[in-house]
Amino acid sequence: MMQDISYPLGDRVPDRGEMIQVADGIYWLRMSLPMQLDHINLYVLEDESGWWIVDTGMKTSDTRKRWQSLFDGPLSGKPVIGVILTHLHPDHIGQAGWLCQRFDVLPSMSHGEYFQARTMAAPSAEEGPSWAVRDYMRKLGVDLERLKRSGRKFRGMGALIEPLPGGYQRLRAGDVLSIGSRQWQIHIGRGHSPEHVCLFDPQ
């Protein structure tokens, strides 16, 4: 028999421009997504000298406004000193380029996620999906005529993320990040994305 899940905060969720403290030095925020799954949960970790952002939301004007509201409000007292990107999906890395440039920090992420993100976001010389994408879709059983008709709408991943910086801080399995009073162990998961970074505090 399954146990009921306990939600310590009940139905409370962060509003626009708000962070909710969920544990000492750990804050929860939300960003909107323009799809059926209409939001993503993100986190900010507090260190004595500044803030660490964990994932960034998608490249949308609404996401940018929400970040600006946070920088004008609860994050205004300290600089952002780190941006941790768990994996390459656009809802997680979409605003990373803007945030990293704004605060002069490199993203911290795994090798596989960084380089695959750079590759997938690179501009294509072809209009619409590339031949490789078309071939992949054909193997999945997608109607190629339909794909061709929607080709002009096919913008690819580069339209959903700000360009990533030309360098990064590599996170490997077994690394430990000291942030505030916590020691975050780095674990790597595979399946949801190639080299997904997970942060674990044994305390």
Q: pLDDT digits over 116-165, tens only? A: 999 888 766 666 677 777 788 889 888 878 777 766 556 678 888 999 99
Q: pLDDT digits over 12-34, tens only? A: 999 877 899 999 999 999 999 98
Q: Give the separation between CA 109 and CA 39, rounded to whole angstroms.
A: 22
**Opening angle at CA 99, ends 197 and 110, nearest 5:** 20
Lowest-pLDDT range, 19-33, 100-114, 125-139, 183-197? 125-139
